[in-house]
């Protein structure tokens, strides 16, 4: 294809030969002057061999690779990638009669850097994290609705907060195809209102599906505290699992009301549930010793950048310590970090240090991560972000 050419410095082609999806700006020997952000480029080695084709962008990640040859990036390309991603979800057993809510495209994990697509029934919420994907949003939306069997009718574009601010693209959130039908999605037979218009991310944290299902198994007869509850996902599963009482806490009043709506949706009669709008750290400080025997800690990413790692680790340590100190003897803690910048080992050390400070006997029962609809490209370990531990506290 006749795309603009970016040529790499000598010896800088190795990571692309190993299918790493990014080209850093420092690796570039030459490129056209004033290349527009989002332009499709062909990347050549210093010797002129084709390494692949991707989207150009200003900043330290200069090219996000879409393919490792120079074939076209057109609607057939997007349709093929989407079909592959859909087949993977079907093979993993994620799409079935009990669930119509899943991540269809997980950026680099589905060889489509910069693109996130979450499906809620007949509606897909699409997020662009790169100018190239933003410029291609219409052909991507068409490829999504045109894939036979996928069953999508509405494509909502939600990129106001995810695109690089400096690119000056001013994307407006809204439907690219179709319109609002219903905001109710089904996960493992449970129902959830999903607020893609105003909610965080695409409206729901699909990545915790398997971990919520695991929590259900631990909930029978338990007093459960769900910290950072957002849509109340863990709370609904705990109640389905037979919890004696569930308390959901979130600092956002909107999240608390969404949790209450989701409890009523699944338990129209009544449920032993209370939702409280409060800071999680304060709630843990104020609560009585031994009030709960199951605590979920699923905070927002404490480290959004590498520079924030030391503070974030102190945050995880502090939060876990508060829960360990107060949980009933023989209690269970589900503790998570969704900070991409923090490794599994760093998170585990923060939890270890909380365990030591609490003076309690702590054992690891499960080590959790993101589910199969959030695949990790093995050449791009940065894609693995969700870490969790299920702990038994004596």
**Residues at the contact surface with ligand SAH, assessed by CB under 6 A:** 205, 208, 228-231, 233-234, 250-252, 255, 279-280, 298-300
* Residue pair 384/376 in contact by the 8 Å Cβ criterion: yes
Beta carbon of residue 229, minimum distance to ligand SAH (angstroms, whole number): 6
How many Cβ atoms are within 10 Å of 69's Cβ, its own excluded? Answer: 10
Contact 105/118 with Cβ under 8 angstroms? no
Nearest CA to 243 out of 253, 232, 235 is that of: 235
Structure-token pair, residue 364: 């690891």
Which residue, 65 or 229, has its beta carbon nearer to ligand SAH?
229
In the chain, the largest separation of any two C-alpha atoms, in whole Å, equals 70
Q: Which of residues 81 and 322 has its CB atom nearest to ligand SAH in the complex? A: 322
We find the least distance from the C-beta atom of residue 207 to ligand SAH, in angstroms, to be 8
Going from the C-alpha of 173 to that of each of 176, 198, 216, the distances in angstroms are 9, 10, 35
Q: Would you call 338 a catalytic residue per the annotation?
A: yes
Nearer to ligand SAH, 44 or 390 (CB): 390
- The conformational region for residue 149 under phi > 0 = left, psi -120 to 50 = alpha, else beta, is left
Give whichever of 51 and 229 is closer to ligand SAH, judged by the CB atom: 229
- Whose Cβ is closer to ligand SAH: residue 229's or residue 294's? 229
Contacts 24+ apart (CB under 8 A), 161-169: 162/116, 162/127, 162/128, 162/129, 163/128, 163/129, 163/130, 163/131, 163/134, 164/57, 164/58, 164/59, 164/130, 164/131, 166/58, 166/59, 167/37, 167/38, 167/57, 167/58, 167/131, 167/134, 169/131, 169/134
Please give the positions annotated as active site: 338
């Amino acid at each position: 294809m006749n795309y603009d050419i970016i040529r790499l410095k000598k010896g800088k082609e190795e990571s692309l030969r190993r299918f790493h999806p990014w080209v850093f700006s420092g690796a570039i020997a030459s490129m056209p002057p004033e290349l527009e952000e989002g332009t499709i480029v062909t990347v050549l080695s210093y010797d002129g061999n084709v390494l692949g084709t991707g989207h150009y962008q200003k900043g330290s990640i200069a090219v996000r690779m879409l393919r490792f040859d120079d074939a076209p990036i057109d609607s057939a390309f997007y349709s093929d990638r989407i079909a592959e991603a859909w087949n993977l979800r079907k093979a993993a057993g994620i799409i079935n009669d009990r669930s119509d809510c899943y991540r269809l495209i997980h950026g680099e994990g589905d060889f489509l850097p910069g693109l996130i697509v979450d499906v809620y029934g007949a509606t897909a919420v699409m997020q662009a994290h790169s100018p190239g994907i933003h410029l291609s949003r219409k052909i991507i939306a068409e490829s999504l609705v045109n894939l036979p069997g996928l069953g999508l009718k509405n494509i909502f574009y939600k990129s106001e907060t995810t695109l690089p601010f400096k690119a000056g693209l001013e994307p407006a959130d809204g439907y690219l195809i179709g319109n609002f039908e219903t905001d109710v999605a089904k996960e493992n037979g449970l129902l959830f209102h999903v607020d893609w218009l105003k909610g965080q991310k695409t409206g729901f944290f699909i990545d915790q599906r398997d971990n919520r299902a695991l929590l259900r198994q631990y909930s029978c007869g338990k007093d459960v505290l769900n910290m950072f509850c957002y849509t109340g996902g863990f709370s609904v599963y705990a109640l389905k699992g037979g919890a004696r009482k569930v308390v959901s806490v979130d600092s956002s009043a909107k999240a608390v009301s969404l949790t209450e709506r989701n409890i009523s949706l699944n338990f129209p009669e009544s449920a032993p549930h209370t939702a409280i709008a409060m800071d999680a750290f304060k709630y843990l400080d104020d609560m009585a010793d031994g009030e709960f025997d199951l605590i979920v800690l699923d905070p927002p990413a404490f480290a959004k950048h590498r520079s924030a790692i030391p503070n974030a680790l102190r945050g995880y340590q502090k939060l876990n310590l508060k829960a360990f100190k107060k949980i009933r003897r023989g209690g269970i803690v589900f503790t998570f970090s969704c900070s991409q910048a923090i490794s599994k080992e760093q998170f585990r050390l923060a939890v270890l240090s909380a365990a030591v400070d609490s003076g309690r006997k702590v054992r690891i029962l499960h080590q959790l991560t993101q589910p199969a609809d959030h695949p990790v490209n093995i050449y791009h370990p940065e894609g693995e972000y969700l870490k969790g531990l299920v702990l038994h506290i004596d």
